[in-house]
Amino acid sequence: MDINHLEEFVTVAECGSINKAANKLYISQPHLSNIIRDLENSIGFKLFKRTNRGVRLTPAGEYFLKHSKAILKEIQALKEFTPTCAKVSDKLRVSMTKFSHTMESFNEVCNLSENIGEFTYVLNEGTTRDVIMDIANGYTDVGVIHYDINEESNIHAFLEKNELSWKTIANFKPEICISKNHELIRQGKKVTLDALKDYGFVRYLGQYEDFIYNIAKRGRHMDLNNSNKIIYVYGRATLMQLISTTNCYTIGITEFDNQVQMFQVISIPIEGCENSIQFEIITRKNATLDETAQKFIDNVTKRYCRLAEMKSTQKTSE
Tens digits of residue pLDDT in 140-171 = 999 999 998 888 988 999 999 999 999 999 99
pTM equals: 0.80
Classify 180 as helix, strand or coil. coil
Please, are residues 12 and 64 in contact by the beta-carbon 8 Å criterion? no
- pLDDT for the residue 210: 63
Q: Considering the domain boundaries, does residue 105 fall inside one?
A: yes
Please state, in angstroms and rounded to a whole number, the distance separating the CA atoms of residues 37 and 183. 37
Alpha-carbon distances of 252 from 62, 110, 144, 174, 204, rounded to whole Å: 41, 25, 15, 6, 12
Q: Who's near 37: CB < 8 A, 6+ residues apart?
A: none
Q: Which of 81, 162, 169, 92 is nearest to 129 (CA)?
A: 162
Q: Considering the domain boundaries, does residue 182 fall inside one?
A: yes
Last residue of one domain, picked from the residues 80, 103, 119: 80
Tens digits of residue pLDDT in 33-86 = 888 988 898 899 999 998 888 899 999 999 999 999 999 888 878 766 655 554
Q: Considering the domain boundaries, does residue 147 fall inside one?
A: yes
CATH number at residue 205: 3.40.190
CATH number at residue 302: 3.40.190.10
Q: Considering the domain boundaries, does residue 10 fall inside one?
A: yes
Tens digits of residue pLDDT in 198-249 = 999 999 877 666 667 778 877 788 888 788 999 988 888 899 999 999 999 9
- Number of structural domains (the chain) is 3
Tens digits of residue pLDDT in 239-294 = 999 999 999 999 999 998 889 998 999 999 998 898 899 999 999 998 999 899 99
Alpha-carbon distances of 8 from 135, 140, 248, rounded to whole Å: 17, 20, 33
Last residue of one domain, picked from the residues 269, 287, 308: 269
Q: What is the residue range of 153's domain?
A: 90-172+277-317
Written in H, E and C, the secondary structure of 14-33 is: HHCCHHHHHHHHCCCHHHHH
Q: Considering the domain boundaries, does residue 85 fall inside one?
A: no
- pLDDT for the residue 311: 86
Q: Which of 194, 133, 195 is nearest to 158 (CA)?
A: 133
Same domain for 216 and 186: yes
| Beta pairing, strands 48-51 & 54-57 | antiparallel
- 288-300 as b/e: b if 16+ CB within 10 A: eebebbebbbebb
Neighbouring CB atoms inside 10 A of 112's CB total 12
- pLDDT for the residue 225: 78
Same domain for 240 and 185: yes
Alpha-carbon distances of 151 from 142, 147, 169, 187, 209, rounded to whole Å: 21, 7, 16, 38, 11
Same domain for 296 and 160: yes
- pLDDT for the residue 223: 82
